[in-house]
């Protein structure tokens, strides 16, 4: 019997539900995030990573881009945990002006960050991670999260501790 390959370009159910949410930027007081209803293609992801870094030897195989902020900075699952499903991969953000960082250690934790009113751009570009809890995103996290609720601040700090060299590693790829 032939084994069916896993389609890791299909949005996990939690990301599909996030794509249906209308995020309110609220003149800078809300979440600046525009989720996609599908991952960017492998070719689009490679093109983006090459342009972002200026390094045309790279490919985007390690990333599944699932949304952006208003300036074009991208949120992605970073497939760094070999053999683990997409929902167990960290969420990263790479901004349009060069800021980048790890947002959450897993998709589940990312749901709690959103529930706290913090988007991927805000998690990376701002030091204040106290948000405005959002009832719609809290309900979504309660349905999909496999990790206990923690504050966005704790989740972001934990993710940065898990991947302490992410920013330096990305910077080293830039030309």
The widest CA-to-CA distance across the chain, in whole angstroms, is 56
Percent pLDDT > 70 in the chain is: 96
Q: At what angle do helices 107-115 and 152-162 cross, to 10 degrees?
A: 150
Domain ranges of the chain: 15-173
Residues 6+ apart with CB under 8 A from 30: 23, 24, 117, 132
pTM for this predicted structure: 0.93
Residue 5: what pLDDT? 38
**C-alpha–C-alpha distance, residues 67 and 20, integer Å:** 12
Task: Answer whether residue 30 shows pLDDT above 90.
Answer: no
What is the per-residue pLDDT across 65-103, written as a single tens digit (0 to 9) for each?
Answer: 999 999 999 999 999 999 999 999 999 999 999 999 999
The full length of the chain comes to: 175
User: In this predicted model, which residue has the larger pLDDT, 133 or 101?
Assistant: 101
Distance in angstroms (rounded) separating the CA atoms of residues 73 and 52 = 10
Which residues neighbour 100 within 8 Å (Cβ) at sequence distance 6 or greater?
Answer: 92, 93, 94, 124, 166, 167, 170
pLDDT at 132 over 70: yes
Separation between Cα atoms, residue 46 and residue 24, nearest integer Å: 29
For 65, the 3-state DSSP assignment is strand
| Chain centroid to CA 47 | 18
pLDDT at 67: 98
Quick check: 166 and 105 in contact, CB under 8 A? Answer: no
- Give the integer Cα–Cα distance in Å for 76 and 127: 20
Average pLDDT over residues 57-71: 96
Q: How confident is the model at residue 6 (pLDDT cuts 50, 70, 90)?
A: very low
More confident residue, 4 or 124: 124
Where are the strands (E) in the chain, listed by range?
A: 34-35, 63-68, 74-78, 91-94, 100-104
- pLDDT at 145 (0 to 100): 97
| pLDDT, the chain, mean | 92
The answer to whether the CB of 14 falls within 8 A of the CB of 35 is no
């Amino acid at each position: 019997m032939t084994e069916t390959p896993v389609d890791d370009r299909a949005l996990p159910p939690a990301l599909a539900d996030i794509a249906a949410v209308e995020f309110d930027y609220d003149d800078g007081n809300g979440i600046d995030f525009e989720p996609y209803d599908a991952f960017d293609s492998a070719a689009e992801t490679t093109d983006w990573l090459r342009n972002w870094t200026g390094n045309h030897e790279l490919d985007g195989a390690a990333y599944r881009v699932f949304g952006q902020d208003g300036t074009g900075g991208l949120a992605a699952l970073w497939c760094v945990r070999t053999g683990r499903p997409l929902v167990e991969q960290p969420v990263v953000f790479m901004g349009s002006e060069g800021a980048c960082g790890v947002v959450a250690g897993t998709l589940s934790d990312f749901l709690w960050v959103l529930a706290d009113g913090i988007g991927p751009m805000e998690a990376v570009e701002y030091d204040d991670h106290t948000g405005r809890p959002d009832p719609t995103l809290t309900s979504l996290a309660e349905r999909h999260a496999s990790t206990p609720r923690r504050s966005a601040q704790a989740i972001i700090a934990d993710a940065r501790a898990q991947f302490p060299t992410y920013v330096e590693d990305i910077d080293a790829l830039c030309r």
